[in-house]
Structure 1
Amino acid sequence: MNISQAARQSGLSAKALRYYESIHLLMPSRSPNGYREYSRADVETLQFIQRARSCGFSVDEVRALLELHNNPARHSHDAKVLVEEKLQQVERQLEVLKSMRKTLRGLADSCAGDDSPECAILNQLASGD
């Protein structure tokens, strides 16, 4: 199948497919005239990449997951370690976001939000309090 068909079936854009090829996550075959030809296995790989990326995995992490996926001698422990590391990263990001939300809520609550030029938000940001 051609790139537009593979993109449609994988849920990715043609641009994403070309990008994944450029970084060697996927290497579709080429027809004699140089056009990319995607197999069903290529589309399955693209779907794997898309699902992994939607879970927040970086390109390098996706590469590691793909290597495990394609290795029949793999150990599930290795995949679990990668997922647990990503989970810990997400947990840390959530804590940062919760703290940010608390700070923003405090800033919003401190401001009258009227037509006055006096603004508690700007004063707090300026003074670091």
Structure 2
Amino acid sequence: MAEDLVVTRALVIPAGELRERFSRSSGPGGQGVNTADSRVELSFDVAGSQAVPEHLRPRLLAKLSSRLVDGVVTIAASEFRAQLANRAAARDRLAALLRDAAAPPPAPRRATKPSRGSRERRITDKKRRSRTKQGRRVRPDD
């Protein structure tokens, strides 16, 4: 089952750098719930990995900083009753997490001015709203 985890074209994690731990999962399972270690914890050392390119490491560490413990990110999966399904789910989730963290930041927004038409529409809407509110005012008796 040990195969490399493909995150992006630039980032492929060798199976040897992934650590899996198995434990008992909570929830339904009948008689087998106390014997099957179906919960999976998948760990990956982002800070010490040889697979992470040097230009990508600072970005990953910065974006995953809230999830890292000593440079290691851990994903837990226990939604399935089968260990094999939980292993696949954990690998998929880790790949998605690393893919999002490795994505380059969006281009900075360029400041623009409102168009003449949008300014006119805004003023027209303000005047219409003002007339509506003026019509609701209580006028003192003359």
TM-score range, shorter chain: under 0.3
Which structure is higher in RCO with an 8 Å CA cutoff and minimum separation 6? 2
Structure 1 or 2, whichever has the larger Rg, is 2
**When the two structures are superposed, what TM-score results if normalisation uses the length of structure 2?**
0.22
**When the two structures are superposed, what TM-score results if normalisation uses the length of structure 1?**
0.23
